Chains A and B, each alone.
Chain A
Amino acid sequence: MSEELIKPYGDTLNDGVVQLSFTLPVAHSARAIKAAEMYTEKLNFHSVSVVHAHKIGEGFTFFVVYARATPTLDYSRVKATEAEVHPMDFYEINEVIRTKLNRKLVAVGAAIGTDAHTVGIDAIFNMKGYNMDYGLERYPEIEAYNMGSQVSCEELLETALKVNADAILISQTVTQKDAHKRNFTEFIELLEAERLRGRFLLVAGGPRVSNDLAVELGYEAGFGPGTIPSQVASFMTMKISEKEGKSLDYGNDTET
């Protein structure tokens, strides 16, 4: 594969222009501005221009800085994963579940641990959905259970077993001190302890969740900010169908 060297783009290819903003714990002064410039140079930027500096607290100064980056990156060597989703709409999804699975798809969702934020799980589950896209509760072919927030891993697993869930969707919004990673991991550990690791399709979601992170933590997919319910529903429908040996034929327009 041939090299494909890239750099940030301002208005000319390879100009390396980057815009930065940060705070230094020093009082606003000419010396502070110089410090911002020097610190940016230490980050390996050149042509540094501190365009804005303002006192934002006793002994704190906020800066906006433009600078040019030095290193290049070989894009041909960059690998990343994305949840493989063939996007289907509400009607297609219901139709596929009806005809391929020939039963309802059962999904259980919760914000686990101390996380009290239901915004993510609600966006995916609630009848009304998110951004003009219906939530899972609206799908006639999906049996959707939204357990809300502050659900313990044990409660979630108990419910998933009770309703015979196909998929478990876990949302984490609070990320302070990596609480989201700890909570995601705790659930995987519980499944392993109970020897139920392969039993469910596991999906992670939240504002700081990437597919890479989710896969690394042991989930089948991770959905980040801006995800609409039909993306998650499409993914579940595809994976559960595959699992039951009824993989879907998308023709040639498969997006990955």
Chain B
Amino acid sequence: MAEIPLNLEQVARLKETAKEIADEIQEFIDKHSTVSVERTLLRLYGVDGVDEEDIPFPNLLVDLLRDKNQLVGGVSRSFAAAMLASGRDPQTTAELLAQGNISFGDVERFSPDRIMEKEKELARQALCLLDGSRERKREKQENYSRSRQPWRYMIVATGNIYKDRTQAKAAVMAGADMIAVIRSTAQSLLDYVPYGPTTEGFGGTYATQANFKIMRAALDEASQKEDRYIQLVNYSSGLCMAEIAACAAHTDLDVLLNDSMYGILFRDINMKRTFVDQYFSRLICSRAKIIINTGEDNYLTTSDALNSAFTVTASQLINEAMGKKALLTDDLLGLGHAFEINPAIENAFLYELAHAQLARQLFPEAPIKYMPPTKYQSTDIFYAHCLDTLFNLASITTKQGIHLSGILTEAIHTPFMQDRYNSLCSVNYVFNVARGLGDEISFTPEGLVARRARKVLDEVEDFLKDIKRTGLMEAIAQGRFADVKRPVDGGKGLSGVFQKAADYSNPVMERLVKEGIIHE
């Protein structure tokens, strides 16, 4: 395939620097937990549901423990003790605790050995849940065969999960390989996961475990009908990164948007909270084999795509390094980037090729996620369709992994059924007629594309060195990413972060780390 000659020593240096940046953050992560991580543990132990005021039981329980100043030891031990006290299953135990029928945090009543035994049993069940999801997906993929990359990714977002089903099935029929249910606006800022099937949303549909299940069932039908495996995508970045990963594992999702910095930069979520949450979230994704998608495309909607190209690559490298810490393998790293250069610039397409090819070569085994034009997308739908068509050509030529189909009405409204069809017509056409183009061409070593890619790489090197010197947290605080300053102790969700006590217990995390990557 066409390759830009890159300095491989430089690439190795960049990866090493990114790893060192991630190492420093990991030191912080290892000493801390969050309310959301603890709620995730309860969800993995089998606690679900809401009380009469729609407050999820995982939230109620974690808050109860927190009020007693006992959360620093983690929720696991107290919950195991409560199960011994109730003699019932996790869900009933949670309800009894919430109603005050049994008291929480009463660990002295039972011997440490009995509690530890119970915790081990709960952790075993949690691991079974993650392993079961991974195995079910593998079986389905073997039954139906997975489509060739670039996978055609299509969004649905009516706000009503039942109507989303109709839209999704139509998109699959038109050629989509992956269906993403866009979340209701601002869900990322909710410090809980909404419950049950939902039929109202703003600009999207709430991410709930019930909605995941409904859509997965619809896509299973569609997979059978089309005889190809259709992947389901949802979004976890925000205040509930790990909890949504747990819900996703419960319902066999294939892909989660999951970025180590997106929430901090673009949603003003506290950085400590995000770093701790993303780690546990990604450990779950690794075990359940959920591909993560990262949000580097967002850098380009706020900053200039040429001048800021290096921030995209730098963020990809940091996301990769942090992902590896959480045991994600290359095939699960859907690192993001986008086709956002101003089309008025001469040779803009060549620069796009350079950026896309660079991402491809830096992460050769990763299902790189490629976003369509949005910033310069036009309300002239005919022109918009042309822009998307060239985006499709860049994608197939540089062999991207996950192709977010651009939609001609991008700048106007949430897509209609016919918009998706029109979009996929162009994708199908270009992918078919230019399938082998990337294997046939080569880039002139001193040409515009190669020079551009090398220039970006040089800028990345300077930038990463600077980040490493400053420290990632301080660099974000100084506004080095996306032109936005996020103080270390600013943003939403900081109050949910706590330092782990010496006797902190999280047997699921312990086992995930100890057992490492599961090879199949």
List A residues at the B interface (Cβ < 8 Å).
21-23, 54-58, 60, 62, 114-119, 122-123, 126-128, 130-132, 148, 150, 174-177, 179, 207-208, 225-226
- Interchain CB contact under 8 A, A57 and B185: no
With a cutoff of 8 Å between Cβ atoms, the chain A residues found around residue B374 in the complex are 119
- Interchain CB contact under 8 A, B302 and A56: no
- Interchain CB contact under 8 A, B342 and A131: yes
B478 beta carbon closer than 8 Å to chain A: no
Q: How far is the CA of A130 from the CA of B202 in the complex (A)?
A: 27
- Name the one of A54, A127, A179 contacting B421, with C-beta atoms under 8 angstroms: A54
Residues 165-181 of B contacting A (Cβ, < 8 Å)? 166, 169-170, 173-174
CB distance from B277 to the nearest CB of A (A): 19
Q: How far is the CA of A179 from the CA of B376 in the complex (A)?
A: 24
With a cutoff of 8 Å between Cβ atoms, the chain B residues found around residue A22 in the complex are 418
Which secondary structure characterizes the binding site on chain A? loop
Q: How far is the CA of A206 from the CA of B221 in the complex (A)?
A: 39
Q: How far is the CA of A46 from the CA of B411 in the complex (A)?
A: 32
User: Which single residue of chain B is at the shortest CB-CB distance from A130?
Assistant: B375
B266 beta carbon closer than 8 Å to chain A: yes
Q: Taking A122-B301, A128-B303, A207-B412 as contacts, is the C-beta distance between A57 and B483 under 8 angstroms? A: no
B466 beta carbon closer than 8 Å to chain A: no
With a cutoff of 8 Å between Cβ atoms, the chain B residues found around residue A117 in the complex are 185
> Which 6 pairs across A and B sit closest by C-beta, in order of nearness?
A57-B170, A56-B421, A174-B203, A114-B186, A62-B418, A23-B418
With a cutoff of 8 Å between Cβ atoms, the chain B residues found around residue A119 in the complex are 301-302, 374-375
**Could you give, for residues 349-369 of chain B, a 1 whenever the CB lies within 8 Å of some chain A CB and a 0 otherwise?**
000000000000000000000
User: Which single residue of chain B is at the shortest CB-CB distance from A128?
Assistant: B304
User: Which single residue of chain B is at the shortest CB-CB distance from A123?
Assistant: B375
Q: Taking A56-B174, A56-B418 as contacts, is the C-beta distance between A114 and B202 under 8 angstroms? A: yes
B502 beta carbon closer than 8 Å to chain A: no
Q: How far is the CA of A128 from the CA of B379 in the complex (A)?
A: 22
B417 beta carbon closer than 8 Å to chain A: yes
- Interchain CB contact under 8 A, B202 and A179: yes
**Could you give, for residues 388-412 of chain B, a 1 whenever the CB lies within 8 Å of some chain A CB and a 0 otherwise?**
0000000000000000000000011
CB distance from B345 to the nearest CB of A (A): 9
- Interchain CB contact under 8 A, B170 and A58: yes
CB distance from B493 to the nearest CB of A (A): 14
- Interchain CB contact under 8 A, B266 and A132: no
With a cutoff of 8 Å between Cβ atoms, the chain B residues found around residue A130 in the complex are 375
Q: Taking A127-B483, A207-B412, A225-B379 as contacts, is the C-beta distance between A60 and B417 under 8 angstroms? A: yes
CB distance from B55 to the nearest CB of A (A): 20
- Interchain CB contact under 8 A, B185 and A115: yes
B267 beta carbon closer than 8 Å to chain A: yes
Residues 330-389 of B contacting A (Cβ, < 8 Å)? 342, 344, 374-376, 379
With a cutoff of 8 Å between Cβ atoms, the chain A residues found around residue B375 in the complex are 119, 123, 130
CB distance from B377 to the nearest CB of A (A): 9
With a cutoff of 8 Å between Cβ atoms, the chain B residues found around residue A225 in the complex are 379, 411
- Interchain CB contact under 8 A, A176 and B483: no
CB distance from B483 to the nearest CB of A (A): 6
With a cutoff of 8 Å between Cβ atoms, the chain A residues found around residue B304 in the complex are 128
- Interchain CB contact under 8 A, B418 and A175: no
- Interchain CB contact under 8 A, A176 and B159: yes
Residues 463-501 of B contacting A (Cβ, < 8 Å)? 483-484
Q: How far is the CA of A21 from the CA of B422 in the complex (A)?
A: 11
Q: How far is the CA of A207 from the CA of B304 in the complex (A)?
A: 20
B86 beta carbon closer than 8 Å to chain A: no
- Interchain CB contact under 8 A, B302 and A122: yes
User: Which single residue of chain A is at the shortest CB-CB distance from B376?
Assistant: A131
With a cutoff of 8 Å between Cβ atoms, the chain B residues found around residue A58 in the complex are 169-170, 173
Q: How far is the CA of A128 from the CA of B189 in the complex (A)?
A: 28
- Interchain CB contact under 8 A, B202 and A57: no
CB distance from A138 to the nearest CB of B (A): 12
B268 beta carbon closer than 8 Å to chain A: yes
B125 beta carbon closer than 8 Å to chain A: no
With a cutoff of 8 Å between Cβ atoms, the chain A residues found around residue B174 in the complex are 56-57
